[in-house]
Amino acid sequence: MRGPMLGLMNGLGEDDRRSMIVSRLIAIAVAVVVVGAFALHATSAHDGAAGVVKERMAVMKEMDKALHVLEDMLAGKRRYNADAASRALRILADGHARIPKLFPRGSHDFPSEAKPTIWTKWDDFTRLADRAATESTELQSAMIVDDRRAVRQHLRRLDSTCRRCHDEYLERDD
Ligand code: HEC
């Protein structure tokens, strides 16, 4: 490139000036593309780590809350409320149905606590999610007919399916 000083441009011919402008425009275009590519790369990597992991953590936390709402109602620690109960049941059924999609292959990097064995034992992992979803709907049926014993039983089973999956597929520091 010729000198960077603008004053120099006055001493140049029309063609020189044009070629300088063109090369500057090319330099700017290249810079824009490079910066753009970096930005794109940064957001997609960020989404890969935070996106689906963050989403499934939120789903799990919601399910945790929902389970506690139902357990507290059954234990008499919280007043029974049909709307709140059916909301909690829907969260549990929908959340478990979403599990396979919320665990794309290899999505176990920090801060995820998911174990890589999820993908080597995928059938077992998704079977547990299926079972929990089924238990949620059975629990719902038991609540609709107000069969307390069945409610208690299905709630206990559901709780133990959460734990089984966590024991097997959750990395814990402790
Ligand atoms: C099929 C397996 C499976 C089932 C069933 C399951 N979970 Fe999870 N859960 C996981 C995995 C794997 C993680 C770790 C996700 C991560 O960190 O990427 C997790 C994480 C969690 C977390 C921690 C979320 C956070 O913010 O770190 C909570 C709370 C939780 N689950 C509650 C529940 C409850 C309550 C149930 C049952 C009603 C349940 N889970 C059912 C596999 C399961």
| pLDDT, tens digit only, all 174 positions of the chain | 444 545 445 555 667 666 655 566 556 555 554 444 444 434 443 344 478 999 999 999 999 999 999 999 999 999 999 899 999 999 999 999 999 999 999 999 888 999 999 999 999 999 999 999 999 999 999 999 989 999 999 999 999 999 999 999 999 865
Its pTM stands at: 0.76
Half-sphere exposure of 50 (CA within 13 A, CB side): 6
CA of 48 to the centre of ligand 1 (A): 19
User: Does the beta carbon of 20 sit less than 6 angstroms from any atom of ligand 1?
Assistant: no
Total of domains in the chain = 1
Ligand 1 centroid, distance to 116 Cα (angstroms): 15
Does ligand 1 have an atom closer than 6 angstroms to the CB of 49?
no
CATH number at residue 100: 1.20.120.10
User: Residue 76 region, left (φ>0) first, then alpha (ψ -120 to 50), else beta?
Assistant: left
> Does 29 map to a domain?
no
Residue 89's domain spans which residues?
Answer: 54-169
Regarding the beta carbon of 155 and ligand 1, being less than 6 Å apart is answered no
- Of ligand 1's listed atoms, the one at least distance from the Cα of 118 is 12
